[in-house]
């Protein structure tokens, strides 16, 4: 059953959504069937598009809203939230 | 080896990775491809989409293979760029739109890719943050690869670079730059395009390979096999240099290699005289990538972190986030070691996004550095806020350039405190108070150093400007350049006055101008009593070696005798002779020479301020 879940998170890693972090986000999003959008500072992008994510130019401290829509939406949002919370594996 | 017959050609670009190299040119010719433009018949649409899919798959395999090769030898940084490129290949923004154009506009895949890439690049153009804006070049590299594959061209040609070649190219893709750097056969890079943050610059700095970027039409003007001498600090490229010019470059190259050898031997030893006086040796930097080299040469901290690069090669002024990110990275990379950030040291003509000021007749004495910041408060505050926020992440010190009087220092400090309060109120963490000092680089500041010392937490003497202003000579002017004399009695007296003032107020005094890194002056500076000397990383081992071989008592005698002499010529001759006597055995051929009062200026009058806007201290 298709569901829609969303959540707002702060980007806490030092470099923000730069190439490395954006790549990780896209790779995680791609593992799920759900549609995933990411919104930051009034701009929206497909979280499965690395160029779209980079264009958000989201620096550290930016609030991003993730919306997942699909059968696996719940799990998808959870994974993405974990990635952001883990600072995309960046050293602190 | 140089040819008398061929005239020397001199090119000026942006020094993007320090070091000197001499070698024969290897021209990497990656001609821009012409995109074929065709209209499709209806029956051709499906096969065209298949062709597109095949080209993407092929590109993906190529990038995976490249990434694999690079990861094995190079570590993960370059691999990361290629991984991002792979994701771009499958990006719906690109693929869906290309397919739409093939189906709806009935155009061939090459044309469609080019059109979509152009559209995406325009979207990146408007991003104020330079890092994110520059990802548009990645869009280009990816589009080029797909188009080449569509056209059946060879993409990752194994380029056989001859050993010790100077690679000359219009531009280098990250894949090319990484592959070539990996080969270990490249002596230097010269590219027509690019700036301080281009891939070539970043890769070259990481590999400690000299690079000059933004060198105009170098790839057309240089022929394969030409002898090329290049200087990655000043951005100078000499094609078919004369024997004399070549000798200068070779000497500098040899000195560089020698200091590398020394660096390994002395890295962990303290810079202490035989009678126990220690001077902290720090490095001058501009970019994060210089830190590994700094630490490898034994720097104990950063005595001058120039922030001008934040403002160059861009259309809009940097955001607080950009400043913050840069400073934080440097602080973190240095661990707990001190990092001295100097606020903007440029004039308004170099700052982007501001209304251009009228060209000033005498910019060295014009509206620049702290003067410019104090009359452009918003820009100044942006930098100060970022500094305050970054201070949480390490051992930060802040200094203001070109201070002439106490009121400038007060104004700058009160702006800093205002920013601190503002951030505190907004709940932004700003860390503990950090030392706030000044550059002492004007005769005025030197003269009232006692008063300034009451309100500054430290002094850092910028000798380049101090000497230029004290002796009233323009270093760029060939006619008077010979008057630039660091050992002029007036300079020595000023230095002594500054130290005395610092001592009396119990604040540390440092030097971060060129004089600090030249071993000819090391004993004089030890005797004067500097607490810290800050220089380029390559100079640290030599200065350290000299310090470790003398006593301060001996150095003080040298200083006293020198200051009893009168003319700059007499003092220089005396100091040079005495240094030769003390260090003759270490100055045998192969050892770095003392007595290069000025780092050899290859052609003093012409290069002027390097286009990178790099301000020496």
The full set of domains in chain B, from first to last, is: 9-31+157-241 (3.50.30.10), 42-150 (1.10.274.10), 255-436+517-607 (3.20.20.60)
Catalytic residue flag (residue A22)? no
Interface of A with B in 39-78 (CB under 8 A): 46, 48-52, 54-55, 57, 59-61
Are B94 and A15 inside 8 Å of each other by CB?
A: no
Beta carbons of A55 and B123 less than 8 Å apart: yes
How many Å separate Cα B273 from the centre of its chain? 31
| Structural contact between residues B124 and B132, judged by C-beta atoms closer than 8 angstroms | yes
Confidence of residue B346 (pLDDT cuts 50, 70, 90): confident
Which pLDDT score is estimated for A38?
97
pLDDT at B209: 87
Beta strand pairing status for A63-70 and A3-10? antiparallel
Of A20, A46, A54, nearest to B92 by CB-CB distance is A46
Cα(B107)–Cα(B41) distance, integer angstroms: 9
A49 contacts in B (CB within 8 Å)?
91-93
Taking only the tens place, the pLDDT of each residue in B568-598 is 999 999 999 999 888 865 543 333 344 433 3
Question: How far apart are alpha carbons B565 and B550 in whole angstroms?
Answer: 22
- Give catalytic status of residue B512 as yes or no: yes
Quick: pLDDT tens for B552-565. 999 999 999 999 99
Residues 130-189 of B with CB under 8 A from A: 131-132, 135, 138-139
- Chain A interface, mutation test: which of B76, B77, B80, B132, most A Cβ atoms within 10 Å? B132
Q: Can you tell me the distance from the alpha carbon of B382 to that of B398, in angstroms, rounded to the nearest whole number?
A: 14
Calpha distance B286→B63 (Å, rounded): 32
Nearest chain B Cα distance for residue A4, angstroms:
21
Among A36, A56, A57, A89, the residue to mutate for chain B (most B Cβ within 10 A)? A57
Q: What is the pLDDT of residues B525-560, one digit of tens each?
A: 999 999 999 998 878 988 998 999 999 999 999 999
Q: Mean pLDDT throughout B350-375?
A: 76
Mean pLDDT for B352-362 is: 63
| Residue B230: HSE in the Cβ half-sphere, 13 Å Cα cutoff | 38
Range of the domain at A49: 3-89
Give me the mean pLDDT over the B396-415 stretch: 97
Helix (H) or strand (E) holding B67: helix B45-74
Answer yes or no: are the C-beta atoms of B288 and B329 closer than 8 Å.
yes
pLDDT at residue B350 tops 80? no
Q: How far apart are CA B3 and CA A47, in angstroms?
A: 58
- Residue numbers in B near A20 (CB within 8 A): 80, 84
Q: Which residues of B touch A50 (CB under 8 A)?
A: 84, 87-88, 91
pLDDT of residue B356: 52
Tell me whether A16 touches chain B (CB under 8 Å): yes
Pairwise CA distance, residues B398 & B340, whole Å: 6
Mean pLDDT score of chain B = 85
**Residue appearing with tokens 């970027």:** B213
What average pLDDT does range B142-164 have in this prediction? 81
pTM over 0.80: no
Average pLDDT over residues B395-406: 97
pLDDT band at B476 (very low <50, low <70, confident <90, very high): low
Burial profile B248-268: b = 16 or more Cβ within 10 angstroms, e = fewer: bbeebbebbebbbebbeebee
In angstroms, the CA B241 to CA B228 distance is 7
CATH number at residue A78: 3.30.1340.10
B573 or B135: which carries more pLDDT confidence?
B573
pLDDT attached to residue B69: 73
What integer pLDDT is reported at residue B363 of this predicted model? 75
**Residue A22 near chain B (CB below 8 Å):** yes
* Domains: count for chain A: 1
Cα separation of B586 and B545, whole Å?
A: 10
Q: Do A16 and B321 touch (CB under 8 A)?
A: yes
Higher pLDDT, B267 or B524: B524
Find, in chain A, the residue whose alpha carbon is nearest to that of B95: A49
Nearest by CB: B132 against A23, A57, A60: A57
Q: State how far residue A52 is from chain B, nearest Cα, in angstroms.
A: 7
Find, among B537, B532, B490, the residue nearest to B509 by Cα.
B532
Residue B131 and residue B69: Cα distance in Å, rounded?
26
CB atoms within 10 A of CB B62: 20
Label each residue of A4-66 as H, E or C: EEEEEEECCCCCCCCHHHHHHHHHHHHCCCCEEEEEECCEEEECCCHHHHHHCCCCCCCEEEE
Q: How confident is the model at residue B90 (pLDDT cuts 50, 70, 90)?
A: very high
Query: Which sign, positive or negative, has the C-alpha torsion B454, B456, B460, B465?
Result: negative
Active site residue: A5, A18, A46, A52, which one?
A18
Pairing of strands A43-46, A63-70: unpaired
Between A85 and B198, whose confidence is greater? A85
């Amino acid at each position: 059953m298709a569901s829609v879940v969303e959540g707002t998170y702060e980007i806490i890693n030092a470099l923000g959504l730069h190439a490395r972090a954006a790549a990780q986000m896209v790779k995680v999003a791609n593992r799920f069937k759900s549609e995933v959008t990411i919104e930051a500072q009034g701009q929206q992008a497909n979280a499965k598009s690395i160029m779209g994510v980079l264009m958000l130019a989201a620096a550290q401290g930016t609030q991003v809203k993730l919306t997942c829509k699909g059968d696996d939406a719940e799990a998808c949002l959870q994974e993405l939230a974990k990635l952001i919370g883990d600072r995309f594996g960046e050293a602190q | 080896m140089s040819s008398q017959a061929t005239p020397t050609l001199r090119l000026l670009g942006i020094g993007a990775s320090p070091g000197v190299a001499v070698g024969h040119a290897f021209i990497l010719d990656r001609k821009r491809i012409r995109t074929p433009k065709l209209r499709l018949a209806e029956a051709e649409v499906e096969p065209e989409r298949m062709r597109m899919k095949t080209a993407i798959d092929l590109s993906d395999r190529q990038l995976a293979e490249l990434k694999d090769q690079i990861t094995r030898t190079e570590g993960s940084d370059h691999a990361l760029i290629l991984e991002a490129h792979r994701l771009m290949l499958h990006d719906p923004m690109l693929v869906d739109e290309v397919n739409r154009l093939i189906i709806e506009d009935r155009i061939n895949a090459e044309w469609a890719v080019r059109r979509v890439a152009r559209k995406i690049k325009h979207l990146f153009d408007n991003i104020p943050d330079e890092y994110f804006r520059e990802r548009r070049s990645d869009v280009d590299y990816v589009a080029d690869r797909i188009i080449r594959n569509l056209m059946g061209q060879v993409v990752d040609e194994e380029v056989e670079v001859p050993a010790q070649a100077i690679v000359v190219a219009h531009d280098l893709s990250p894949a090319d730059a990484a592959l070539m750097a990996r080969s270990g056969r490249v002596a230097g890079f010269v590219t027509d395009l690019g700036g301080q943050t281009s891939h070539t610059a970043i890769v070259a700095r990481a590999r400690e390979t000299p690079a000059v970027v933004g060198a105009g039409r170098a790839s057309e003007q240089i022929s394969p096999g030409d002898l090329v001498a290049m200087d990655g600090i000043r951005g100078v490229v000499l094609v078919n240099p004369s024997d004399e010019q070549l000798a200068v470059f070779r000497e500098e190259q040899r000195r560089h290699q020698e200091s590398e050898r020394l660096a390994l031997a002395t890295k962990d030893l303290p810079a202490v005289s035989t009678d126990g006086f220690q001077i902290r040796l720090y490095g001058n930097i501009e970019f994060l990538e210089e830190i590994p080299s700094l630490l490898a040469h034994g720097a104990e901290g950063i005595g001058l972190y120039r922030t001008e690069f934040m403002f160059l090669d861009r259309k809009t002024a940097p955001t607080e986030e950009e400043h913050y990110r840069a400073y934080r990275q440097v602080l973190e990379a240095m661990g707990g070691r001190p990092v001295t950030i100097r606020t903007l040291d440029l004039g308004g003509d170099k700052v982007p996004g501001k209304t251009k000021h009228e060209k000033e007749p005498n910019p060295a004495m014009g509206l620049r550095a702290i003067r410019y910041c104090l009359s452009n408060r918003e820009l100044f505050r942006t930098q100060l806020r970022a500094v305050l926020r970054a201070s949480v992440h390490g051992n930060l010190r802040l200094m203001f350039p070109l201070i002439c009087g106490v009121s400038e220092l007060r104004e700058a400090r009160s702006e800093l405190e205002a920013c601190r309060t503002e951030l505190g109120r907004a709940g932004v963490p700003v860390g503990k108070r950090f030392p706030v000092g000044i550059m002492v680089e004007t005769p005025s500041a030197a003269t009232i150093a006692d008063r300034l010392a009451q309100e500054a937490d430290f002094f850092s003497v910028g000798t380049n400007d101090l000497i230029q202003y004290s002796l009233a000579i323009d270093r760029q002017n060939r006619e008077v350049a010979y008057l630039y004399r660091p050992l002029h009695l007036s300079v020595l007296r000023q230095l002594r006055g500054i130290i005395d003032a610092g001592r009396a107020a119990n604040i540390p005094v440092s030097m971060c101008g060129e004089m600090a890194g030249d071993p000819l002056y090391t004993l004089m500076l030890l005797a004067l009593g500097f607490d810290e000397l800050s220089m380029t990383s390559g100079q640290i081992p030599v200065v350290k070696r000299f310090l470790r071989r003398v006593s301060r008592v001996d150095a003080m005698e040298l200083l006293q005798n020198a200051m009893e002499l009168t003319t700059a010529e007499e003092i220089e001759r005396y100091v040079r002779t005495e240094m030769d006597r003390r260090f003759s055995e270490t100055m045998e051929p192969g050892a770095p020479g003392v007595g290069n009062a000025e780092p050899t200026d290859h052609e003093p009058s012409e290069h002027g301020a390097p286009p990178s806007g790099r301000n020496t201290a």
